Amino acid sequence: MDVIPIKSIKDIPTEEDIFPGTPTCAGCGGLLALRHCLKALGKKVIIVNAAGCFTLLSIYPFTPFQNSWLYTAIACAPAGAQGVRDALDILIRKGRLDPEEDLKVVVLTGDGAAYDIGLASTSGAIYRNLDFYYICYDNEAYGNTGFQWSGATPFASKTGTTPAGRISPTGTELSKKNLFEIWRSHKPPYLATISPAHPVDLINKFKKAEQYKGPKLFINLSPCPPGWATDPSHSAMFAKLAVDTGIWALKEAICGDVRHTFVPKKFRPVEEYLKGQGRFAHLFKPVRQEEILAKIQEMVVQYWNEVQDNESIKK
């Protein structure tokens, strides 16, 4: 089936699927992306939400969603999704649910569940070829418990558990796990990274993914004003800078074949992305940590050099 991509933000439906006034923080980049994700997924959706920031979205008896929502512990959203998928399949088989009324099963998690605590149940679900969508709002730390380090935290970010100081001027000394490649090694049909600053790219990826039965991953880099120590009104700007500096690569993998969906014509220096964020402030003051800044830039250059070697990039 050929998918007709949308071409501009004018093609994005204006109708919202999340009502305004949620308890998440002002400027939450995860919520901004989720609005677009739900527009792309349509109305027939059931969300299975691992404990995390977005647990705050539905607090009984209030919910901003128009669709069904199920809350699970942080480790087991994919297991919950399996139960929901099985129940829907049984209802369809018994003739109690019209296949036209079938629901898309969507796991919604933060990076703590996706990169760390829920990785085992996720691996099991991909291995079983569970037909589900998996959206990770990745703010690169455990956001709603005080911004502690997670497996998604990037090198040199300061977090609640990796402070920058005399003992470790770097802050976080480990690098971010590569969740995209962890998933890809399981050979699922569709994987993508997305950004709230690129809604057309985001929506087209969901349209494409819809053609495939099986596990479908979407990792959204989610600016997080309280954790990143940024102004809520700057979230879209930081999401865009992450892409323009090459720190956040927009890509997809269809049946294992990776393609970058947006490549900046000219990469901006990573410093432009790091500079305005409090979590990286120690790299600039009281003294500039040139070696660390150069290392971050070098990591990005190396990534894109490898991309250039492995893919013909269409600009």
Positions in the binding site for ligand SF4 (CB under 6 A): 24-25, 28, 30, 53, 139, 143-144, 222, 224-227
Helix (DSSP H) and strand (DSSP E) numbers for the chain? 10, 8
Tell the smallest beta-carbon distance from residue 149 to ligand SF4 (Å): 15
CB count in 10 Å sphere of residue 306: 10
| Nearest distance in Å: CB 69, ligand SF4 | 16
| Cβ 263 vs Cβ 269: under 8 Å | no
Residue environment code for 138-170, b if the CB has 16+ CB neighbours within 10 A, otherwise e = bbbbbbbeebebbbbbbebbbbeebebeeeeeb
Question: What is d(CA 255, CA 171) in angstroms, rounded to the nearest whole number?
Answer: 37
- Please state the closest distance from residue 28 (CB atom) to ligand SF4, in A: 3
Nearer to ligand SF4, 123 or 161 (CB): 161
CA distance 125 to 215: 8
Q: Which is nearer to ligand SF4, 26 or 255 (CB)?
A: 26
> Least Å distance between CB 50 and ligand SF4?
13
Would you say 79 or 239 has its CB closer to ligand SF4? 239
Measured between alpha carbons, how far is 258 from 313 in angstroms, rounded to an integer? 11
What is d(CA 243, CA 1) in angstroms, rounded to the nearest whole number? Answer: 30
Smallest distance, ligand SF4 to C-beta of residue 26, A: 8
Smaller CB separation from ligand SF4, 13 or 23: 23
In whole angstroms, how close is the CB of 222 to ligand SF4 at the nearest point? Answer: 6
Under DSSP, is residue 182 helix (H, G, I), strand (E, B) or coil? Answer: helix
Tokens encoding 171: 């802050």
If the CB atoms of residues 214 and 226 are measured against ligand SF4, the closer one turns out to be: 226
- Cβ closer to ligand SF4: 28 or 106? 28
